[in-house]
Amino acid sequence: MTSINTNNAAMAALQTLRGINQGLQETQAHVSSGYRVGKASDNAAYWSIATTMRSDNKALSAVSDALGLGAAKVDTAYSAMDSAIDVVGDIKAKLVAATESGVDKAKVQEEISQLQQQLLSVAQSASFSGENWVAGADGTKNVVASFVRDGSNAVSVVMTDYVLDSSSMGNVLFGMSVGSVETSTGILGTSNGATGSVYAMDITNFTLGEIQSALTNVESALKAMTSAGAQLGSISKRIELQENFVSALSDSIDSGVGRLVDANMEEESSKLSALQTQQQLAVQSLSIANSSSQTILTLFRG
């Protein structure tokens, strides 16, 4: 039966065209944005996961920056400690020279005094971003190590600690008091018996036995400084490893998010061409369905 009130063919063609147009709009959105899941309505689960992981990746980027800052602090401290070890080694050599008979100890002391002032200069200069890890009061310094999301979905920031110890066998050259270097504490400032500290000793009037004691004290200071340098080196290595890991982890997260939400451009391109062709055919089909009712007029022509 043909009706002039209801055109079932046209309604079917229109419904088909609407579906094709909707698919075409979605495909065009995928092509223009590059995302298969660009909003929550596309796929709520994938969108939620991708949004959370992108947020975590921003946190990892901040961790990477913080690691760079921490590495600079540690490297500054290590460079200062390494330089101080060389200077104390020179003091040790001067003490050995002073054990020889006939050596003018006053002249040797003049050289040692210059080396002692260099040690103070090294300690005072080893500051980065307002922090000094070789001249400081007892306490804990730390650098950001990583951002962690555990199995229960709780997030935390992991820190690497470096505890400052201003004792004679600690890990700072000098202590710190009220914002200034305290030259009576630390590896170089702490007095060791009658010969005094490495920083304050004056061998001008030392006996041979006192010079031997001073050598022992210098050797103890070198041992402590070497240990501190090794500790700083191990932290520096850990930071380097963590920087590499954070970089690789960030890339892995980007890749994983991409697998969830990125559009397959080859597939979308093929789909776009097919939908454009289907749209043209659907428009033609609707036109035919609409024109079919015009044939009824011929039945009423005389």
- Chain centroid to CA 199: how far? 38
What pLDDT digit, counting tens, does each position of 134-147 carry? 999 999 998 887 77
* 6-15, 38-47, 179-188, 287-296: range with lowest mean pLDDT: 287-296
> Do residues 123 and 174 make contact, with C-beta atoms less than 8 angstroms apart?
yes
What pLDDT digit, counting tens, does each position of 217-230 carry? 999 999 999 999 99
| Residue type (1 letter), 168 | S
pLDDT of residue 1: 59
pLDDT of residue 290: 74
Give the Å distances, CA to CA, from 147 to 8, 153, 193, 228, 238.
62, 12, 48, 27, 15
What pLDDT digit, counting tens, does each position of 6-25 carry? 677 778 888 888 888 888 87
What pLDDT digit, counting tens, does each position of 154-172 carry? 778 888 899 999 999 999 9
Find the helix or strand (DSSP H, E) in which 70 lies.
helix 44-98
Structure pTM?
A: 0.77
C-alpha–C-alpha distance, residues 144 and 239, integer Å: 9
Q: Is 198 helix (H, G, I), strand (E, B) or coil?
A: coil
Read off the pLDDT band of 5 (50, 70, 90): low
Q: Is 283 helix (H, G, I), strand (E, B) or coil?
A: helix
